[in-house]
Amino acid sequence: MVTAKSEIWVFGDYRNYFQNRVTLQLISRATDLARPLNATVCTTVFGCNTDEWVGEYIAHGAQKVYLVEDESLKNYSSDRYVTLMERLARQYRPEIILVGATSFGREFAPRVAKRLGTGLTADCVGLDVDDDGLLVQTAPAFGGNLLTKIVTPHKRPQMATVRPGVFREIPHNYEATGEIVRVPLPKDLPADRIRITGYEHRPPLTQKLEDAAVVVCGGRGMGGKAKFKNLFELARLLGGEVGATRPVVYAQWADEDTLVGQADRHIRPKVLFSFGISGAIQHTAGIIDAGFIIAVNKNPNAPMMKMADVAIVADANQVCLALIKELRKRLRG
């Protein structure tokens, strides 16, 4: 049973808007979970010049922030961040650790769990507390066809990664206050085994994907990152946004804030272009409210082609390039 001093930790992933939002969503859910557990909601923040984020997390419900600041933590380093989290967790012994299921969180959290010798439920779509005070972690299983509820009765901390968009963040409260625990950087943190040579950002979304009237969605059939980039130009010319399937996001042809599907993002464009997408149920569940669908696929029997209002049997990249050429001509004229 949980003691009065137990803590629920949310890893503060502040590196871009999307990752920051899932952190805020988790702080909100942690606040709900903390009531029956009589627990304190905490975030951990690693980085450099993080005042803005510490303030943001407190304004959105964090009661305590464990802060480790150092120039060497400015960029994510798996070795250093994982070791830091492990040490903090061993020292302060949180009951629960929640991490956003971003590409970062999906790498970071399992490593921390392994180091701490505890379990981790990945990609949760629900979190509750049962009568025994255990965290009930709801996650898709068997290809997403079933939802399973998982508890961690013996090991601590109980750990989960949670998909962005599942929970609603608490509105910003400028008057909120919280405790900041400044933890000095341990001198013996391991050196980075990975060197980051640079960052490449795609242009930010000009509107929310969920609100866009035109969405150009691409799948694995686009055939590679360079070809996928053409979809951004097509979307720009159409005044729309780019969406993507899960394999595309996993292959890092597009950021995860483009992901469309059952548990990630539902879109309602008036016109949806679907390039090189097979039409798996996990994807089409996110586009059922689309108005008019134009699909391009080499395979006329792909489920996406059956769902489309206009189905073009062709190479996706060639059609994309032809549309770009035509639109440029018309927009110039």
Ligand X SMILES: Cc1cc2nc3c(=O)[nH]c(=O)nc-3n(C[C@H](O)[C@H](O)[C@H](O)COP(=O)(O)OP(=O)(O)OC[C@H]3O[C@@H](n4cnc5c(N)ncnc54)[C@H](O)[C@@H]3O)c2cc1C
Binding residues for ligand X, per CB under 6 A?
140, 143-144, 219-221, 223, 245-248, 259, 261-264, 276-278, 280, 282-283, 296-299, 302, 315-316
As measured in angstroms, the least distance from the Cβ of 81 to ligand X is: 26
| Collapsed DSSP state (helix, strand, coil) of residue 181 | strand
Q: Which is nearer to ligand X, 40 or 274 (CB)?
A: 274
Q: Do residues 292 and 268 lie in contact, with contact meaning Cβ atoms separated by under 8 Å? A: no
Among residues 315, 127, 121, which one has the least CA distance to residue 221?
Answer: 315
As measured in angstroms, the least distance from the Cβ of 147 to ligand X is: 10
CB-based closest residue to ligand X: 261
Tell me how far apart the alpha carbons of residues 11 and 110 are, in angstroms, rounded to a whole number: 13
Token pair, residue 202, equals 């795609």
Q: Provide CB contacts within 8 A for 260, sequence distance 6+.
A: 209, 215, 217, 243, 244, 245, 266, 267, 283, 286, 287
| Residue carrying structure tokens 């000009």 | 206
Q: Where are the beta strands (DSSP E) in 125-276?
A: 126-129, 135-141, 146-150, 158-162, 179-182, 214-218, 241-244, 271-275
Q: Which is nearer to ligand X, 143 or 184 (CB)?
A: 143
As measured in angstroms, the least distance from the Cβ of 315 to ligand X is: 4
Q: Which is nearer to ligand X, 61 or 140 (CB)?
A: 140
As measured in angstroms, the least distance from the Cβ of 144 to ligand X is: 3
Q: Which is nearer to ligand X, 30 or 234 (CB)?
A: 234
As measured in angstroms, the least distance from the Cβ of 162 to ligand X is: 14
Q: Which is nearer to ligand X, 64 or 227 (CB)?
A: 227
